[in-house]
Amino acid sequence: MATKRLTKDVVEELEPRATDYVVWCGKLPGFGCRVRPTGAKSFIAQYRVGGRNTPVRKVTIGSYGKLTVDAARKAASEVLAKAELGSDVAAERAKKRAEMTVAQLCDEYLEQGCALKKASTLASDRGRIVRHIKPLLGRKQIGDITRADIERFMRDVANGKTAVDLKTIKHGRVIVKGGKGTATRTVRLLGGIFTYAVDNGYLATNPRLGVKVYADGKGERFLSGTELQKLGETLREAETVGLPWKINEDKKAKHRPVKEENRREVISPYAIAAIRLMLLTGCRAGEMLNLRWNEVDFDNGLLNLPDSKTGAKKVLLGAPALEILATLPRIGDFVIAGAKPDKPRADIKRPWERVIAHAELHDVRLHDLRHSYASVGAAAGIGLGLVGKLLGHASPTTTARYSHFADDPLRRASDSIASTISAAISAQPVPPDPTPLPARQA
């Protein structure tokens, strides 16, 4: 039975669990704080209208952070007082919200339902809402959306019904292609938006439930040993003699260099280093491009990333990765220097496309370097638990407790993976760590 009064300190101390739970106020019956597994906290009011034999109703007051505990308590008191007088606030809200359009729900979701999402994810969500959801479903009332509507929406996006090629003054050109992958990811987002509606009492059920989506087709590609060698040879050629031009024979040859050696392009050593480091550490492209020199701990062999897809994390560095970082010239704050020393390089798409084209690895994406890192670890008999830790796949709670990154099994696992990859892509193979690896884990 609740005995404590809900205060700011009490709410702050509430930790997420595997499932939702509610802590009730001991001084105002019916007023509580709901905690999600994600860590999100919201205030609710629970009541009955008409006595003990009537159903229990719940109303979401608002999110902690946007509302103070005192403001939420005042709002909950008003809801509970209305219930005593026979007014069902939850029913009134449900009726009103069922009349809201999908566009209005999307706007509310972006404003109130995305507190824990990263800026990059939020930007992608906004793009899918503006380019796909609103044009096809925006005017419909949320209470009228059915599973069939969601399935039709998915087919329309996959078939290019929302595809556009726009010229804008601000962005130059906006191309929206659609396709099965876009359709799948947008339907998943739509399901999340309707889950928000259900959680807030706007709908009884989620119309996305039961809709089978197209396969994403992601996460399957990784480089074999032979492909790693081809990639390594191409990277060495790109940074030394340069990669040969792709000559368009239909174009005029008036301004082409006469000598063959002048028909080559040397790729930036920073772009080459980024590719190698992604392969040797399993880091994402954004993590590597935004890496600052003050986040590199040479003494302990670590990258101290203040932000990533899963929050702050530490990345172990094997000897090959440390050697690349030690020999890379420092220009400005960022490890992978761009045109402006005080700003991170935007991307490495063009040099990557040149490299994979010359290596004849046309279907390999930058993110597949991360998959390849994991596959090398798995193939070496390293437990999936260790590989997951090295990649930062653990939950935020577990990641926050990584004070033991000098742990021998993790260190050996990191060195083993990096040495295997380095041996494949280097001209002179680096011998593997002779220290025995831990037993294979389930």
Summarize pLDDT for 352-381 with one digit per residue, the tens: 999 999 999 888 888 888 877 766 665 555
pLDDT of residue 71: 94
pLDDT of residue 366: 85
* Amino acid of residue 41: K
pLDDT band at 416 (very low <50, low <70, confident <90, very high): confident
More confident site: 329 or 98: 329
Within the chain, all domains assigned CATH 1.10.443.10 are found at 225-425
How do residues 419-433 score in pLDDT, each as one tens digit?
778 877 875 544 444
pLDDT of residue 406: 36
Mean pLDDT taken over the chain: 80
Asked whether the predicted pLDDT for residue 441 surpasses 50, the reply is: no
pLDDT band at 413 (very low <50, low <70, confident <90, very high): confident
* Amino acid of residue 392: G
Within the chain, all domains assigned CATH 3.30.160.390 are found at 8-90
**């992958």: which residue's tokens?**
181
More confident site: 13 or 283: 13
pLDDT of residue 104: 94
Question: In whole angstroms, what separates CA 263 from the centre of its chain?
Answer: 40
- How many angstroms separate the CA atoms of 106 and 113, rounded? 9
pLDDT band at 51 (very low <50, low <70, confident <90, very high): confident
More confident site: 179 or 386: 179
Asked whether the predicted pLDDT for residue 410 surpasses 60, the reply is: yes
End-to-end CA distance of the chain: 41
How do residues 226-266 score in pLDDT, each as one tens digit?
888 899 899 999 999 888 876 555 555 555 555 555 578 89
Helix, strand and coil in the chain, % to nearest 5: 45, 10, 45
CB 306 within 8 A of CB 315: no
pLDDT band at 218 (very low <50, low <70, confident <90, very high): low
Residue of 318, 317, 316, 310 lying closest to 400 (CA atoms): 310
pLDDT of residue 27: 93
CB atoms within 10 A of CB 375: 17
pLDDT of residue 251: 52
Q: Would you state the CATH architecture of domain 8-90?
A: 2-Layer Sandwich (3.30)
- Assign domain 225-425 to a CATH class: mainly alpha
Within the chain, all domains assigned CATH 1.10.150.130 are found at 102-199
Query: What average pLDDT does the segment 400-428 reach?
Result: 60
pLDDT of residue 258: 53
- Bridge partners of 141, per DSSP, are 101
Query: What average pLDDT does the segment 266-283 reach?
Result: 90
pLDDT of residue 255: 54
CATH number of 102-199: 1.10.150.130
Query: What average pLDDT does the segment 283-296 reach?
Result: 91
- How many angstroms separate the CA atoms of 94 and 110, rounded? 20
Asked whether the predicted pLDDT for residue 155 surpasses 70, the reply is: yes
- How many angstroms separate the CA atoms of 110 and 363, rounded? 34
